[in-house]
Structure 1
Amino acid sequence: MTIDRRKFLTRSSVAGVAAAGLASPAIAQSQPEVRWRLTSGFPNNLDTIYGGAVVMADALKAITGGKFQIQVFQAGELVPGPQAIDAVQNNTVEIAHTCGYYFTGKNPTFAIGSAVPFGLNSRLQNAWLYHGGGNEAYDDFLSAYNIIGKPGGNSGAQMGGWYRREINSVADLSGIKMRIAGVAGEVMSRLGVVPQQLPGGDIYPALERGTIDAAEWVGPYDDERLGFYQIAPYYYYPAFWEGGLTIHFFINQQQYAALPDEYKAALDTACKAANLNMQALYDVKNKNAIRSLVGKGAQLRPLPADVMQAAYKATFELYEEYSERYPEWAKIYPDWKKFRDEGLEWFRVAEYTYDSYVFGAQAAGQ
């Protein structure tokens, strides 16, 4: 019997396509439809930091073929920003995107996973969290609040804030009312500052009314959008309290545990994408915004040396006090400090010497 080879191959190809068409939906249908709600700690006009949650949700939707979707709400739409952790803990929402140090009123250990004064830069922060045991230690702490955390964005080193008047020494800080959050506020209070914790959207009106004298937020791009330069012209650097802020996705433990393994992997991948993307965006946007701000009259100033020295001393005294008062802090801090010290030693060898040379050459016009 003879076979028409062309017809056979055609029929075989059609059959293969049909089989693939049947198999694909069957596989897709084996996974459940999951719909979560996310509360952000930020207003949506701050597109880069708020946008980290959108980047994650879009990636997750694409990876899962639309089966696992997360709807993002700006701060205040579902719950106020300061209640984000409570909302996740109580399963009012499944997930939040915010800064751990906003919740140091509960326990200062919340801050160590995000940013603490004279802590890790962004590279070391990622190294510690992903491969230095940091996220495991942080999750162990967070388990008491029925949540887990996944890094979901980094700002890089931030600016030291906007001031109505120049700061020439530690003495000039005395009595200044400053918007500054978390452990940084405690350190600054020891230098004479009166710390105020305000959401991003409330900072400009407070500066305008004179309720506060100074404010820190993130860096040039966000700060320009918020308009601080119009009221407080002196722009200081660096934010010694945020050398590399990590914003976390905080997830309800039970909701996470109920996910299929494939969805857990997809969520983890999407969070990592958001973490990488945010700092890349800030590095692009800040380089343009700092030039724009100077053109609008912002007066760039380094924090005086005696301010930095006094803050450094106060910071590590505070950490020792935390170790005595908070067992959760004491459990994480020694390994964190060892990682920090060894990481800084390595960075001084290659990163710092390279950066210092090229910065100097560029400044000299070479």
Structure 2
Amino acid sequence: MSKKTISSNSRRKFFKVATSAVVAGGLLAACKPEDNTKKSGAAEKSVKLTMQAAWPSGANIFFEMAQDYCNMVRDMSGGSLTIDLKPVGAVVKTSEIGQAVSSGIVDMGHWVTAYWYGKNAAASLFGTGPSYGMSSQEVMAWMEYGGGRKLYEEATAKVGFNYTGFFHMPMPAQPFGWFKKNVTKVSDVKGMKYRTVGLATNVLTAMGMVVRQLPGGEIQPAMKTGLIDAAEFNNPTSDSQFGMQDVSKHYHLGSFHQSQEMFEIPCNTKRLKSLSPAHQAILKNAAYAANSDNYFKALSRYSESLSMLMNKHNVNVYQTSDEILAAQLKGWDKVIGDFVKKDAFFAKVVKSQKDYARRTMKYLLMNQPNYKLAYENEFGPIGQVKI
């Protein structure tokens, strides 16, 4: 082989190796850890937000659920986004949370829309309104896929709230509550001084009850002193934490007065938009995560608390009678009809909910088998089952 041939072959090998090295080097450079770190957002600037809840700290499952949401935000962000959760009254009163978030006194809140019902009656439709066959699960579905969110944003704007709301925890239907005797007829509750909130005050007033709106912490003392004759708050766990079993031994489950509520997390819109897209997405999606987790926790804890009330505190537990439930529905018809006539926005929200319920609930109710039938097939009549 001639020197010229050797030289040509060497040059070809050199360029081939060099080209391979350049390509490999480019690939290695593209895979450098530093670049991935920048792209993944792992170097996200640390941010701390302040949230005030409408619930006391300590033994309070609602405060615990608010903390669950905060923990999810921290974990999903790898610790770069944290929320300092404060209990009710730490900064402002419950009724002031919406305005405090809007003005930036706190970044976020944790409460329910019924707490700003006094500013706009339509607030109650986003959690404590008429059922039309929907549970809280379906109302939340209407919020996100049935046009509810746009109407909700219109409602917050009408009352001057400058915040973006996230929702989580589709609450099971709230009990009719605690009475001094077993009530089965509408005549049994007429004239009773009863505690509730939101549009339920109008509904039960239409049934002949005398309604008092009281904060959660005042319910048990009010019933103990006779300021009220009967009361509801939310669920067996919260009710037992308030000590309702010490002032009543008659607990009525299942009611249409508040059959589909959920938590609202207002977040100051300006503060939210100042965050990175990743942090904004985490605040939103952590609510979806908490939605499932809180509901799973509620099913376990509420049933455990009901068992304790029955077996340790000798509380008599009843299902609210069909007569009372039917009267509640008639009360809703009257209240909704009155508001629709005088409030165009209220009427618009009601129409949206009815349109959504008519379509989706026909499918859901026809598709669901009779779960009570399956339960009683295994355990016997539901009213006689010991838990």
TM-score, normalised by the number of residues in structure 1: 0.88
Deviation at 1:62, TM superposition (A): 2.0
The separation in 1 between residues aligned to 2:107 and 2:220, in whole angstroms, is 31
- Tell me the matched-pair count: 354
CA distance in 2, matches of 1:26, 1:100: 38
In 2, Cα distance between equivalents of 1:47 and 1:165: 27
Aligned to 1:6: none
* Of 39-48 and 100-109, the range deviating more from structure 2: 39-48
Letter in 2 for 1:129: M
Is residue 82 of structure 2 the alignment partner of residue 72 of structure 1? no
Q: Which amino acid aligns with 1:175?
A: G
1:30-57 alpha-carbon deviations (Å, 9 max, x no partner): 6443322111111123543222221221
Gaps of 5+ in 1: 1-11
C-alpha separation between the residues in 2 aligned to 1:63 and 1:308?
Answer: 43
Aligned to 1:234: 250
1:171 is aligned to 2:187:
yes
**What's the offset of the Cα at 1:236?**
0.8
Structure 1 partner of 2:328:
311
Q: Aligned pair in 2 of structure 1 residues 198, 65: CA closer, same or farther (>3 Å)?
A: same
Instruction: Report the counterpart of residue 112 of structure 2 in structure 1.
Output: 99
Within 2, Cα distance between the matches of 1:32 and 1:199?
Answer: 39
Aligned to 2:375: 359
Of the three residues 127, 131, 147, the one matched with 2:141 is: 127
Deviation at 1:224, TM superposition (A): 1.7
Structure 2: runs of 5+ lacking an equivalent: 1-24, 383-387
Shift of 1:92: 1.4
Task: State whether structure 2 residue 154 is matched by structure 1 residue 137.
Answer: no
Q: Distance in 2 between matches of 1:334 and 1:27?
A: 44
Q: Identify the residue that residue 17 of structure 2 maps to in structure 1.
A: none
Q: Quick one: distance in 1 between partners of 2:38 and 2:278?
A: 16
Is 1:35–1:68's contact at 8 Å kept on the other side of the alignment?
A: yes
Is 1:328 the counterpart of 2:345 in the alignment? yes
TM-score, normalization by structure 2: 0.84
Structure 1 residues 19 and 343, CA, compared in 2 at 3 Å: closer, same or farther?
Answer: closer
Aligned-partner Cα distance in 1 for 2:83–2:197: 28
Using the aligned pairs only, state the percent identity.
21
TM-fit CA distance, 1:245:
1.4
**Aligned position for 1:272:** 288
Counterpart secondary structure, 2:149: helix
3-state SS in 2 of match to 1:44: coil
| 1:195 counterpart = 2:208 | no
Alpha-carbon distance between aligned partners in 2 of 1:330 and 1:254, rounded to the nearest angstrom: 30
CA distance in 2 between partners of 1:37 and 1:310 (Å): 43
CA distance in 2, matches of 1:289, 1:193: 28
Bigger drift between 225-234 and 21-30 goes to: 21-30
Deviation at 1:303, TM superposition (A): 2.4
CA distance in 1, matches of 2:147, 2:39: 39
Return the letter of the residue paired with 1:349. M
CA distance in 2, matches of 1:104, 1:262: 33
The equivalent of 2:50 in structure 1 is: 37
Aligned CA distance change for structure 1 residues 327 and 147 (closer, same or farther; 3 Å): farther
Give the stretch that moved more between structures: 331-340 or 303-312.
303-312
Closer, same or farther in 2 for the Cα pair 1:129/1:26, shift >3 Å? Answer: closer
Counterpart of 2:21? none
Q: 1:240 to 1:338 in 2, by over 3 A?
A: same
The residue aligned with 1:257 is 273
State the SS of the aligned residue for 2:199: helix
Match of residue 240 from structure 2: 224
Determine the C-alpha separation between the residues in 2 that align with 1:128 and 1:292: 35
CA offset digits 1:38-84 (Å, max 9, x no partner) = 11111123543222221221111222232222111111111111221
Residues 1:109 and 2:122 are matched in the alignment: yes
Q: Residue type of the partner of 1:318? A: V
TM-aligned CA deviation for residue 96 of structure 1: 0.8
SS at match of 2:137: helix
Q: Which residue of 1 aligns with 2:101?
A: 88
SS of residue paired to 1:182:
coil
